[in-house]
A and B are shown apart, each in its own frame.
Chain A
């Protein structure tokens, strides 16, 4: 177990380093931030001086080394635009994004797990059909559009739920549904096919033969066996929600990291982009590590 955690963390560090290099190079391909920071008619001397101050006159590899050596100390530089430390800005916005991702994740699990299990238990019945429709609808609609429709129905017409902002827990409902509906289709299918296989297995028949109540048989003895592939795909989708949240955050004016990074990209605010993307990738990598570690809790045959 310990060995695996250490190994997993080692791999994580390599992944993060790789991510940092890609982020650094790609953000620099978008153009010169100085031209956006100064008026169009600024004299050349002013431009040169600003570049020197920002360290942009150095060769790019030296900029990267500098960036790394500062980054490990938690210093990503100041935001060009918001005039505050980039990391501080990112960390301020991160909880809102994680909160939204967790809510969306909870929504997708609460919808797909019962739907997938019941679709398998009552294969071919109306529950199975409805499950398929609900799941496919989510996958067929882009999340920003779902968001707009939800706002139209529940905020504008029915006036039940707030359309934007993040003041109260109720505010998270609509963005969470918009973000969490998409993975429902894939998750439902994975659970359904896993359960179908398990329900026909010898040990479930054996469980039935000793008089195990049907509810326990399905939700305890069969479900845990069908859980492993689900956890794998859920890990991927959870990470996807973290990084893909910016569209939904924009629609619902959710004060999260995704929206901040998008704004920073438009402003060529390198420090914020770098800090934001790097922090997101760290969360991403850690959540995958958690998924790997959870395997052995689910299936005792997998010893870490």
Chain B
């Protein structure tokens, strides 16, 4: 898989956000790749820059304070950062890269029918000749996400669907134009556990059928284990560890990753208290120069005042921690 050119290649991506209190680097020199048919899990706590990374790929930063993007984002070898807003809208968003957002309760427009919203992408990207044809394709889309009697459901409004059904609709909308890359931003966080499983297996099946590359943003490590091929762990705007799911779970290299895994309670385990990581992530307004986890790290050393480069500890397993310096 690694010999093949990657579907998405992000190099040294930096996202500046202009906030009232100053300029923040929400994403700070992030690099990763996603291959066709692969799912990359982007893991980290809230505010670590996962969502900002993905919004940067689509260039959909918040309208106010949406800041500058540096680095390189290549999709199939084409640089996205040099594209105009118009090109992004016409040729990339929805057509090559699509997104499912976190909360299905707010991600569909409440005052338009599902058919109106679902048929849109076909029309915008000129895949159909008539509105009628677009609605037909929209019904096919609903069928693909296992919604019954899709033709009738198209005339319904979002409030007439349950949460899980809405996430299916949103998924159908994202997949409408058979994108190469799907960004799923915590697609199951707002849903019941049983519905979570349904949505996850839906994504898995779609990937098997279409070979779509998926970036799955989540803070739920159990979902990562079930769905992802590789994982990138983010902390305070940077990726601190990447590797295959199995390597990350068996031999987590970074103390932060280790702490994250230890924080998961296991059944049958006798624990008085849940393990938490002491301290808070650093403020991105004034981040530390060295390792960003150093202040909370139990294994802190003096060398941690310099930012650690990536040390490869296994096949594709890269850890940004000085502890791994000798293993090189």
State the A residues within 8 Å of B (CB): 123, 199-214, 216, 221, 224-225, 298-301
Contact = CB atoms under 8 A, between A and B. Distances in A.
5 contacts: A200-B64, A210-B93, A210-B176, A211-B121, A300-B159
Pairs A-B, 6 closest by C-beta atoms: A211-B94, A210-B94, A202-B106, A211-B93, A209-B99, A203-B109
Interface in B68-109: 89-90, 92-95, 98-99, 101, 103, 106-109
B184 to A, nearest CB: 12
B111 A201 contact: no
Nearest to B159: A301
A211 B95 CA distance: 7
A212 B173 CA distance: 12
B58 interface: yes
Interface of B: 58, 60, 62-64, 89-90, 92-95, 98-99, 101, 103, 106-113, 117, 120-121, 124-125, 157, 159, 170, 173-174, 176-177
Q: Chain A binding site: helix, strand, loop or mixed by DSSP?
A: helix
A212 B120 contact: yes
Given A200-B63, A211-B95, A225 B110 contact: yes
Q: Specify which of A206, A225, A300 lies most central, judged by the most chain B CB atoms within 10 Å of its CB.
A: A206
A173 to B, nearest CB: 35
Contacts of A214: 89
Nearest to B124: A211
A123 B90 CA distance: 25
A213 B85 CA distance: 10
Contact of A206 (B90, B108, B110, B124): B108
B107 A224 contact: no
A202 B120 contact: no
Contacts of B121: 210-212
Chain B CB within 10 Å — which of A200, A211, A300 has the most? Answer: A211
Contact of B107 (A203, A225, A301): A203
A211 B63 contact: no
A206 B106 CA distance: 10
A115 B113 CA distance: 28
Contacts of B174: 209-210
Contact of B111 (A123, A206, A207, A298): A298
Contacts of B101: 202, 205-206, 209
B110 A209 contact: no
